[in-house]
Amino acid sequence: MRREVAALMLLMGALLLAPAVMQRPDRSLADGAAVAASGEPIPLERLSVAPLVRRVAPAVVNIAVAYPSPYAQNPLLRDPYFRRFMGVPDAAMQPRLSAGSGVIIDATRGLVLTNNHVVGEGSAILVVLQDKRQFTAELVGTSPGTDLAVLRIPPERLVAAPLASSDTAEVGDYVVAIGNPFGLGQTVTAGIVSALGRGLTPQSGMGLIQTDAPINPGNSGGPLINMRGEVIGINTAILAPGGEGNIGIGFAVPASVVRQVLRQAKRAI
């Protein structure tokens, strides 16, 4: 009788342990996948933005702009003798250089989008592609009110990034910013859409996309991209109280505004 009771207890213990054993995650899943809220495994490659970056990065360009030296505007300072007399070094007469970012938006026409404040009143604009090719760019359209500018370069083996057909971004969407911060070269940062319809001033009639994806000096004019690889905005500004640099509050001009400026530029070509 004791043997029968012991056997019955062992059998019941095995039945209680079976569900736990069956529900224990497979070692291969633990090593090679995460688990979604639904319980479905997510392959690790889906947790990376690398495939998206590889597809879009060739469309992102660096922009170098030359501005005339303010000293060169003074007729007296063009005289070397007078410069020595005034203590102005010859190097002060050289053009000033600034750098920003842009994105190829139309490969067949060679159209590049950037910020208006990046190109400003530059006397020469140089566009550098990811593959290191360099082109002198023509300024074909500007919109100071939206801080956008359209450049044109020779359409030679270019890769364009698709522009989102409408403003479909929602707060909480993951986004990626690509640009050339501090002249370091092409750099990728990621974050989410923090808010929509933001204005930099109370008088601003344009609603900007706010994001916490780091946007640093030199990122201006680069694209803000959604997880489908579409350009949902052009990075334009950051909020930096006291000049502290990036604090996680950046702004991008939305795709709907970009599309209007691009349409006007195409009509002018």
244 Cα distance to chain centroid: 20
- What is the DSSP track for 121-164? T-SEEEEE-TTS-EEE-EEEEEETTTTEEEEE---SS---PPBP
Q: Are 115 and 147 in contact (CB under 8 A)?
A: yes
Tell me which of 98, 101, 147, 194 is the catalytic residue.
Answer: 147
Distance in angstroms (rounded) separating the CA atoms of residues 195 and 192: 9
Q: Is 69 in the active site?
A: no
Q: What torsion do the CA atoms of 222, 261, 264, 144 make, to the nearest 10 degrees?
A: -100
Q: Is 28 in the active site?
A: no
DSSP classification of residue 227 = T
Tell me which of 98, 143, 194, 220 is the catalytic residue.
Answer: 220
**Exposed e or buried b per residue across 160-177, where buried means at least 16 C-beta atoms within 10 angstroms of its C-beta:** bbebbeebebeeebebbb
Tell me which of 69, 117, 167, 173 is the catalytic residue.
Answer: 117
Distance in angstroms (rounded) separating the CA atoms of residues 155 and 73: 35
Q: Is 117 in the active site?
A: yes
Least Cα distance to 59 among 166, 144, 153 occurs for 153
Catalytic positions: 117, 147, 220
